[in-house]
Amino acid sequence: MAVKAKEKEKSDVKQAAETLGKMIRSFGDAMSEIFEDPELREKAKEFSKSVADSAARVVENKLKSEATKKKFRDAGKAAQSLGKTLEERF
């Protein structure tokens, strides 16, 4: 039973990492469309894959730690601030 639980946790981590990579790729795609820059799109694609790969290597406990959750909340707030600033300025 413990083996199945560990496999599920590993699967959840992989899925979360892939989701994070997709979000970053979407952001990069959106920015490349704004600037009409195919090279930027390719770099965003590479970066999102790198983030997904790195996140997949992180241990489950670290992804669930309060410090990591706080860092993700801070990143989310920074993204919201960026979006609001872009909307106001452009």
The CA-atom distances, in angstroms, between 58 and each of 34, 61, 74, 77 are: 33, 8, 19, 23
Q: What's the whole-model pTM score?
A: 0.61
Question: In this structure, what token pair is assigned to residue 84?
Answer: 């609001």
pLDDT of residue 81: 94
Mean pLDDT of 50-78: 78
Local confidence band at 80 (pLDDT 50, 70, 90 cut-offs): very high
pLDDT of residue 59: 56
Give 1-57 pLDDT, tens digit per residue: 577 777 777 777 778 777 877 888 788 788 778 888 888 878 877 887 787 777 767
